[in-house]
Structure 1
Amino acid sequence: MPGGTAEQGALRRVRRSGGSRRTPGERSWITRPDSAFTVEALEYRLIGTLKSWRDYPPSLRLWFWLAPTLTALLGGILRFVRLDAPHSLVFDETYYVKDGYSYLISGYERNWPDKANEAFNAGDPSVILSTPEYVVHPPVGKWMIAAGMWFFGADNPFGWRFAAAVTGTVSIFLLALIAQKLLGSVTLGAVAGLLMAIDGHHLVMSRTSLLDIFLMFWVLAAFGALLLDRDDGRRRLARRLGALAQKSATGLPSAASQAAGPWLGIRWWRVTAGVCLGLAVGTKWSGLFFLAGFGVLSVLWDLSARRTAGIRGWISAGIIKDGIPAFLSMVPVAVGVYTATWIGWFRSSDGYFRQWAQSNPSAQWGWVPDPIRSLVHYHLEAYAFHQGLGAEHPYEASAWSWLVMGRPTSFFYETPAAGSPGCGVENCASAILSVGNPLIWWGAALSLVVLLFFWAGRRDWRAGAILAGVAVGYLPWFMYPERTMFFFYAISFLPFTILALTYVLGLVLGSPSDPPWRRRSGLYFVAGFLAAALVLSAFFYPIWTAEVIPYDQWRLRMWMPSWI
């Protein structure tokens, strides 16, 4: 397990002994049917020592919550300071911020007149028109943007971007907790949170009201819920196997029960993941890939649990008793949540395509309620639009280039006049470039190769889980080579690349059983890496936040010709 930290040594000292392995001749899932300790031993075999924050030694319980909080606090400062700069809509804010305002006043998107940006930037959104607008992205991200404007007003950039900044900050806290859970180390949780807090790509997306930061958040929340469900499901399996084992001493269970193992009931964390994934799809349709990928990953974890527990029919039992409930717990829930996010459109009478079914009666589909038929037609039209989205754009970036940041997106660039505030030289620049911290991104790209080895060669489920998050967020884009794509789409799987880098840094730290010189050298390397990442983030910070700097300083930060 990566992360040779001091707390792992303390946790190993509280490890239970005995009863955790089957004897060579044992072929059933029953280990010692008359022993309550068998259940605890099986829980340890399935889950390990760490189950929740209460399982940490008392000296570490405070840090379990404090370390993620401190990294989120740092990230929040970086995201909220000067959040209102620049004082104008940038890049695709011109769509999503104005759509958010439309949601505030009508519950669906409405059209805007020509040159509406000038009025909106000046704090006058009243120029909005009464006619509905055709858009191709679902409502959730725009509702979240609208919430920020509801709190702080639609007449200022802070209100436009508040929801994005909050979402980005909370995602740092969430990632730190997930890293702690996944890697079993408070230290590595803090490392993961720190890396995301100071990464430029995440910072830019947290300070700009585009939809992708909200997609990333709901995907990450779903992954965290599934990690908790993994432990919950294995705990239920161990306890129900123990109950069946006690009954088997009197001959009550059938042979089929012994071969298949128990049903595990409703898995509420899995339902929570379904809700989060429904909100992810309700932000952008690319969330569908995460719904499918995470669902398969969850079932594979259950299959592994039944196999580890010694259930003879673990494949068929896992498919029937885990796979079908997993589908019912996630897919219908996600569909229901997604449909509910269109509530503003349903409640309207003049949303785009809202009355399409009434104008286009169908004998074949007449039994389907008109609002549902209208919504289905809307989605078919939007899907056709996405399929044909292939217009050239100066900042389009092939998916092949994302991991190395071949073509980051420029959200904003301005050349302030000499003598203007902040510009004391002849040529100045103010820019927002969605480039990440090079040390973090390039280090994470190399780390993925290491994780492939640990997953395929050592069967480390943690490496597999991280790779799955990257795969479902990244690989599907290669199916659409003709579509116009942008680097900022990569924000959806950024948390998993940071987890990959954190995993490798944990390997570098070593384990408590390593000699002192090995531990010191690992600690020095990781500390040096984090210090270098902090220095690089300070260096790039001006071009992430639209600070006014001399033009030659801006050029100094353009490390690749394709960044210009």
Structure 2
Amino acid sequence: MSMFRFFLIISTFFFVSLALRFWNLGQFNTLVFDEVYYAKFANNYLTQTPFFNSHPPLTEYLIAIGIWMGSWFPASPDITNNLTGSWHSTVSYRWLNALTGSFFPIILGAIAYQLTHRYSYTIIVTFLATLEGLFLVESRYALNNIYLVNFGLLSHLLFLLFINQKKYLCLTLSGIFLGAASAIKWNGLGFLLGIYLIIFIVYLSQKLKHLFDSRNLGIVENINCLKPSLLLFNLLVIPMFTYSILWLPYLLLNPEYSWWEIHQKIWSFHQSIGDSSDVHPYCSKWYSWLIMARPIAYFYEKINTPSGTIIYDVHAMGNPILWWLATGSILIFSIFMIVTLFKQKYNPYLSVILFIIINYFANLLPWTLVSRCTFLYHYMPSYSFSLLGIGLIIEQCLISGLIINRRLGIILLLLISFAFIYWLPIYLGLPLSLRGFDLRMLPNWI
């Protein structure tokens, strides 16, 4: 495949992603789900109104910038409200999220390329990320999870670029984005943990050479030539500095709290949240995320018309077929890695699988220690890496010499595409008949 054709395909996916996120973005002239917090808090920065935020403040800065820039353009009264505390259009507090989310498939595809340098793998991963519903929904409203995932993935992309190209600026930028991800939510530290674990595995392999074939570490083997002081500065000092400096606007607006006091207050707030349906009807345990047992209804409206009942529903849920296949890929790769890692036999895919598995569990397993109510969107960082996993399996099917494998790869892509189209009304909030809505919902999803 020529580079021109490759970029043409990737660009097509990007414009599809962009169109899906900006289509009818102003609909539902209200605050949807946690927009009641993030959009309001963002407006507080513009009106200089003190408030308490239970998360780090970077999300609200970004949404505030979006509102400020959006105020330059006229808006229809049909999409304007004062629910944030000032009169703003719904597009003004959503458009920057939509733009940011449009780059999610590109970033994940770029990681796939840095791991393998194969156009085929990059195209498939980008295609799968374009057809993922949860990231589409999260991008269309003034929420914080798309910033968390994109910043975290950018940190890993830059880390891989540094390993491949030895450009120290990439390592510094990786540290900055790690700090930025943590300044969205504290679980952004999972991306940092993933990098630390990869470095640890590489150094451990040098101590246990009799157990590891170093060729299996692939590109991450290049970490061995790096000075520990360089890694510590860029992957510890830089993230901490970035995270701390991003608190300044919040602390200036709320001078009654010191940096340490606000962290204690946030910690106490989350510790006080219970874990039951009484806290929130869509609470879900971490293990239920693997099968998408409990998606979240972000918006629901039933309208009775002379011709029948119309449902407008937005569910924060993934593409079911893609979701379940991605979980299956993690199970397959976990078994494969355990069986293969200690064998003195070279496997060209082990380094890619190692990268996927380590980052998947680094972002998932810390949630097993959390006692408060959690939600499906907390799984998004882990799920991003599982998309790399199912992408690798489908690519291997499509390039296989066996026709049955190639047909399987095509069938999987068709099923994923069909599922995305089928559930698209739920992602975009398109009108559905009562029967059409019921057909798209499993009993535990409602």
Which interval holds the TM-score relative to the shorter structure? 0.7 to 0.9
1:332 to 222, 229, 237: 237
Partner of 2:373: 484
Question: Which AA in structure 1 matches 2:239?
Answer: A
Cα distance, 1:334 vs structure 2: 0.6
- Counterparts of 1:534 and 1:321 in 2: how far apart (Å)? 43
1:451 to 326, 333, 347: 333
Cα distance, 1:431 vs structure 2: 0.4
Alignment of 1:280-359 (within 5 A): 280-301=181-202, 322-346=227-251, 348=252, 351-352=253-254, 354-356=255-257
Cα distance, 1:301 vs structure 2: 4.0
Q: Is the 8 A contact 2:33 2:299 kept in 1?
A: yes
The reply on whether 1:429 has 2:311 as its aligned counterpart is yes
Partner of 1:402: 289
Q: SS in structure 2 opposite 1:527?
A: helix
Partner of 1:538: 421
Cα distance, 1:67 vs structure 2: 3.0
The reply on whether 1:547 has 2:436 as its aligned counterpart is no
Partner of 2:27: 85
Partner of 2:160: 227
The reply on whether 1:143 has 2:29 as its aligned counterpart is no
Alignment of 1:1-400 (within 5 A): 59-106=1-48, 110=49, 132-153=50-71, 155-233=88-166, 267-301=168-202, 322-346=227-251, 348=252, 351-352=253-254, 354-356=255-257, 374-390=258-274, 392-400=279-287
Cα distance, 1:398 vs structure 2: 0.8
- Counterparts of 2:226 and 2:94 in 1: how far apart (Å)? 45
Q: Is the 8 A contact 2:57 2:250 kept in 1?
A: no
Q: How many residues align?
A: 410
- Counterparts of 1:182 and 1:309 in 2: how far apart (Å)? 16
- Counterparts of 1:208 and 1:499 in 2: how far apart (Å)? 25
Cα distance, 1:63 vs structure 2: 3.8
Cα distance, 1:181 vs structure 2: 2.1
The reply on whether 1:524 has 2:429 as its aligned counterpart is no
- Counterparts of 2:236 and 2:6 in 1: how far apart (Å)? 33
- Counterparts of 1:332 and 1:65 in 2: how far apart (Å)? 36
CA separation of 1:300 and 1:411: change in aligned 2, threshold 3 A: same
| Farther-moved stretch of structure 1 (397-406 vs 295-304) | 295-304
Q: Is the 8 A contact 1:168 1:213 kept in 2?
A: yes
Alignment of 1:506-525 (within 5 A): 506-511=395-400, 514=401, 518=402, 520-525=403-408
Q: Any stretches of 5+ residues in structure 2 without a counterpart?
A: 72-86, 216-221, 342-349
Cα distance, 1:203 vs structure 2: 1.0
- Counterparts of 2:224 and 2:263 in 1: how far apart (Å)? 32
Partner of 2:385: 496
Deviations 1:415-450 (A, max 9, x none): 01315xxxxx32221100111111100000111112
Q: Which runs of 4+ in 1 moved over 6 A?
A: 305-310, 317-320
- Counterparts of 1:406 and 1:389 in 2: how far apart (Å)? 22
Cα distance, 1:296 vs structure 2: 3.0
CA separation of 1:309 and 1:406: change in aligned 2, threshold 3 A: closer
CA separation of 1:80 and 1:302: change in aligned 2, threshold 3 A: farther
CA separation of 1:228 and 1:214: change in aligned 2, threshold 3 A: same
The reply on whether 1:470 has 2:369 as its aligned counterpart is no
Q: SS in structure 1 opposite 2:312?
A: strand
Deviations 1:186-241 (A, max 9, x none): 122111111111111111111122111110011110111111122235xxxxxxxx
- Counterparts of 1:483 and 1:376 in 2: how far apart (Å)? 22
Q: TM-score, normalising length from structure 1?
A: 0.69
Cα distance, 1:318 vs structure 2: 7.7
Question: Which AA in structure 2 matches 1:203?
Answer: L
Cα distance, 1:320 vs structure 2: 11
Percentage of pairs with the same residue: 25
Q: Is the 8 A contact 1:509 1:523 kept in 2?
A: yes
Q: Any stretches of 5+ residues in structure 1 without a counterpart?
A: 1-58, 111-131, 234-265, 311-316, 357-373, 420-424
Q: Is the 8 A contact 1:299 1:326 kept in 2?
A: no
- Counterparts of 2:299 and 2:227 in 1: how far apart (Å)? 49
Instruction: Supply the RMSD in Å over aligned alpha carbons.
Output: 2.4
Question: Which AA in structure 1 matches 2:284?
Answer: A
Partner of 1:236: none
- Counterparts of 1:344 and 1:397 in 2: how far apart (Å)? 34
Higher alpha-carbon Rg: 1
- Counterparts of 1:412 and 1:84 in 2: how far apart (Å)? 14
CA separation of 1:455 and 1:232: change in aligned 2, threshold 3 A: farther
CA separation of 1:84 and 1:139: change in aligned 2, threshold 3 A: same
- Counterparts of 2:153 and 2:226 in 1: how far apart (Å)? 26
Q: TM-score, normalising length from structure 2?
A: 0.86
Cα distance, 1:309 vs structure 2: 8.5
Partner of 2:75: none
Q: Is the 8 A contact 2:199 2:223 kept in 1?
A: no
Question: Which AA in structure 1 matches 2:138?
Answer: M
CA separation of 1:298 and 1:67: change in aligned 2, threshold 3 A: farther
Q: SS in structure 1 opposite 2:128?
A: helix
Cα distance, 1:388 vs structure 2: 2.1
Cα distance, 1:99 vs structure 2: 1.1
Question: Which AA in structure 1 matches 2:329?
Answer: S
CA separation of 1:331 and 1:553: change in aligned 2, threshold 3 A: same
CA separation of 1:389 and 1:324: change in aligned 2, threshold 3 A: farther
CA separation of 1:213 and 1:301: change in aligned 2, threshold 3 A: same
Deviations 1:439-463 (A, max 9, x none): 1000001111121133223341110
Deviations 1:89-124 (A, max 9, x none): 111000001111222343xxx3xxxxxxxxxxxxxx
